[in-house]
Amino acid sequence: MELLEPYPYETKFKAISFPERVREWKYDTDLDDLFENIDEDKIQIEYRTISKILLCLYGNISVKQDSDIQEYITEGLENDIDPEESINAQLDNIVYLYNELKNFPVAGETEFPIALYRGFRAGSAIPFFDRLRKEDKMKIGSQITIPMFMSSSMIEETSMRFTGDDYILWKIIVPKDKTQIFRYTNISDRDYDILSNFDLQNSEAEILLNIGTTLKCIDIINNYTKNYRLPNADGTSQLMTKRCTLYIYEFQGYQEADIVNYLKNLH
């Protein structure tokens, strides 16, 4: 899919080296395999469970009310791992991942600003947005601090595939004067040119935003409509159209988190 006008953001992104354990965030391991293949007494980073734990903390919700966390605990029990041990393993993984992402290099000087995209679906995201609305932080000029790890893409078309119909898409702009402090948490395995037809249709080009990333809302576009291509299993793709609400944020910096004490609030 060709862009009809010049793209005013960075278009080429280089792969970087990072610890293998961080790469576990991208694994889509079945829970039974997760517990059957424990390496050196460490349970693998399980992104779904970690995301739900952090959402429960942010929404002040008991983990006992979350079906995905309970499924994770149940699978652990079936492999003779008690709930406290299985949950503590992911709490340790949260601390590890938070500290490792802080050590990623900064993006450095760029020719253009950087644009990232994150699509949301109703369901697991509802407690997150409920609290933002309660705190009156879903309006232009409001500033938010991300309370969880947040996958984003350098490619808007990719994020559209993860955006619910009539729901929410975030566009995060890192201005040129902030690229010297923005952590280039690129956990992709190769270089990307987001103007290439292949990458537009087939790539995730993931930037993993850390807990504590601070954003300021600079615009909201209702009924935002976007055409994108949805890849098929046979290598073809189909043209799709989706409508959503687009929130445009500007990266501000990072708020240091006492992540260990923060996790003690889990109930």
pLDDT in tens, 164-188: 999 999 999 999 999 999 999 999 8
Among the residue ranges 12-26, 133-147, 200-214, the one predicted with the least confidence is 200-214
pLDDT at 1 (0 to 100): 41
- Find how far residue 35's CA is from the centre of its chain: 24
pLDDT at 177 (0 to 100): 96
Residue 248: count of CB within 10 angstroms of its CB: 19
Report domain extents, the chain: 20-103, 105-260
Q: What radius of gyration, in Å, describes the C-alpha atoms of the chain?
A: 19
144: pLDDT strictly greater than 70: yes
Mean pLDDT over all residues of the chain?
Answer: 91
Which residues partner with 91 through β-bridges? none
pLDDT at 82 (0 to 100): 94
pLDDT per residue as tens digits for the range 193-235? 887 766 555 678 899 999 999 999 999 999 999 998 887 878 7
pLDDT at 2 (0 to 100): 44
In percent, the amount of the chain with pLDDT more than 90 equals: 71
Alpha helix (H) residue ranges in the chain = 20-23, 31-36, 47-59, 67-78, 83-102, 126-134, 156-160, 197-202, 259-263
For the residues 232-252, what does the mean pLDDT come to?
91
pTM of this prediction? 0.93
The token pair at 252 is 């501000």
* 101 pLDDT tier (thresholds 50, 70, 90): very high
> In the chain, which ranges are E strands?
12-13, 114-120, 143-145, 150-153, 168-174, 192-193, 206-209, 213-231, 237-254
